[in-house]
Amino acid sequence: MSQDYTTLEKIINQDPVFGQLSFNDHEQVVFCNDKDTGLKAIISIHNTVLGPALGGTRMWNYDNEWSALNDALRLSRGMTYKSAITGLNLGGGKAVIIGDAKTQKTPEMMRKFGEFVHSLSGKYITAEDVGMNTEDMDLVREVTPYVTGISESKGGSGNPSPITAYGVFMGMKAAAQFKYGSDVLEDKVIYVEGVGHVGETLVEYLTEEGAKVVIADINRERLEEVSSKYRATIYQGADLHSEPMDIYAPCALGATINDNSINKLQAQIIAGAANNQLADEAKHGMLLQQRGIVYAPDFLINAGGIINVFAELEGYDRSEIMRKTENIYTTTIEILKKAADNGVTTHTAALQIAQARIDARRAEHSSQSH
């Protein structure tokens, strides 16, 4: 069941914190408030069984605080499974800052946020997400070592988005191999929704391969820029999800596969970078399965970025990062097959593998402590 957190009555009638549906065994949630800088942030630590909770910080002008909390909870849970399925020794965490990244973000705010991250002593390690860039992470680095995705000039690995895009491209090709028996994307009509850091590089890969790429974004400047660079067609209509297409690549925010969009979708494959694409994992995953639409699980195919920032912690080796990211192709094929063989949704198949790894590590920990 998807959660409706938009009416006050519904919020009051549910237990407003631990009882809400996005709360799913999260270990710790930290509310960060600083009047001087205007910082209002939520750090959500979902799980640290496999290692410290690593996940980016998103700055977004949320409709309300409830919506921000839900985003943090859902995103941090996704990070747990992303790292687990990718074989990284990391837990899942994520932070959100409430506000407009264009007009409200200041260096003072970023440093203050860094102090809150530091107060968790490494249990949570941050990075960039929507509304953040490497310069912001450099500011956080001034006050805490628990940050990744800092500039190359400062010893970091820089912007992880191109690697994320490469992983999404690999996942998309794997889904095409599974669906069409060929992973060649030439002439496929592919809609990329959101041409920000990841979307743009994905468009580059797709146009290089000769796909017919259509792009959509709420930011007109981005559209013009990406369109002129890669000769991608700008979507002019008002209802992208109902357009005839082969592949839909959600690369903006989450939950675009929802009650409104799902029955209109004409794509045969969904493969994109956005986190939490399914508004309701069980229900919408099942509907996609019933409609024969191959859904490449988001947390599996968008793991390139976390592979990249993890390498920053472990010692940066670009060729190893690219190899691990390329491996998303093989893992995606395995998961799509597993889902088909077992009659479960692709999301469930991926989740089961990730959960098994966490459970095994938890069992190891508890046997060691007895």
Which residues line the annotated binding site for NAD(+)? 194-199
| Least CB distance to ligand NAD at residue 226 (A) | 9
Please, which of residues 268-287 interact with ligand NAD by CB under 6 A?
A: 273-275
Nearer to ligand NAD, 325 or 345 (CB): 325
Query: Is the distance from CB of 300 to CB of 335 less than 8 angstroms?
Result: yes
d(CA 101, CA 81): 27
| Least CB distance to ligand NAD at residue 274 (A) | 4
Query: Is residue 230 within the footprint of ligand NAD (CB under 6 A)?
Result: no
Q: Residues with Cβ < 8 Å from 125, sequence gap 6 or more?
A: 52, 53, 54, 93, 117, 146, 147, 148, 313
- According to DSSP, residue 157 is labeled -
Out of 94, 105, 123, 324, the active site residue is: 94
Identified binder of ligand NAD from the candidate list 73, 176, 216, 255, rule CB under 6 A: 216
Query: Is the distance from CB of 339 to CB of 175 less than 8 angstroms?
Result: no
Sign of CA dihedral 257, 221, 186, 166: negative
Q: Which stretch binds ligand NAD (CB under 6 A): 103-111, 137-145, 215-223, 361-369?
A: 215-223
Question: Is 188 among the catalytic positions?
Answer: no
Q: Which stretch binds ligand NAD (CB under 6 A): 65-73, 180-188, 212-220, 287-295?
A: 212-220
Q: How far is CA 83 from CA 98, 121, 251, 272, 355, in A?
A: 25, 20, 19, 17, 11
Please, which of residues 282-341 interact with ligand NAD by CB under 6 A?
A: 302, 305
Which residue of the chain is nearest ligand NAD when measured via CB? 196
d(CA 80, CA 27): 12
Question: Strands of 189-193's sheet, edge to edge?
Answer: 233-234, 212-216, 189-193, 247-250, 269-270, 294-295
Count, residues in the chain: 370
Nearer to ligand NAD, 256 or 348 (CB): 256
Query: Is residue 86 within the footprint of ligand NAD (CB under 6 A)?
Result: no
Identified binder of ligand NAD from the candidate list 91, 93, 99, 199, rule CB under 6 A: 199
- Binding-site residues, in ranges, read 194-199
| Least CB distance to ligand NAD at residue 81 (A) | 13
Please, which of residues 20-49 interact with ligand NAD by CB under 6 A?
A: none
Nearer to ligand NAD, 193 or 280 (CB): 193
Query: Is residue 130 within the footprint of ligand NAD (CB under 6 A)?
Result: yes
Q: For every residue of 217-285, which 3-state class applies, written as one string? A: CCCHHHHHHHHHHHCCEECCCCCHHHCCCCEEEECCCCCCECCCCCCCCCCCEECCCCCCCECCHHHHH
Query: Is residue 161 within the footprint of ligand NAD (CB under 6 A)?
Result: yes
Total binding residues for ligand NAD by CB under 6 A? 26
Nearer to ligand NAD, 234 or 340 (CB): 234
Query: Is residue 197 within the footprint of ligand NAD (CB under 6 A)?
Result: yes
- According to DSSP, residue 128 is labeled B
Please, which of residues 234-263 interact with ligand NAD by CB under 6 A?
A: 251-254
d(CA 161, CA 351): 23
**Helical H segments across the chain, by residue range:** 8-13, 65-86, 107-119, 134-141, 161-180, 197-208, 220-230, 281-290, 298-301, 304-314, 318-326, 328-342, 346-369
Query: Is residue 204 within the footprint of ligand NAD (CB under 6 A)?
Result: no
**What positions carry a catalytic annotation?**
94
Site residues (vs ligand NAD, CB under 6 A): 129-130, 160-161, 164, 193-199, 216-219, 222, 251-254, 273-275, 302, 305
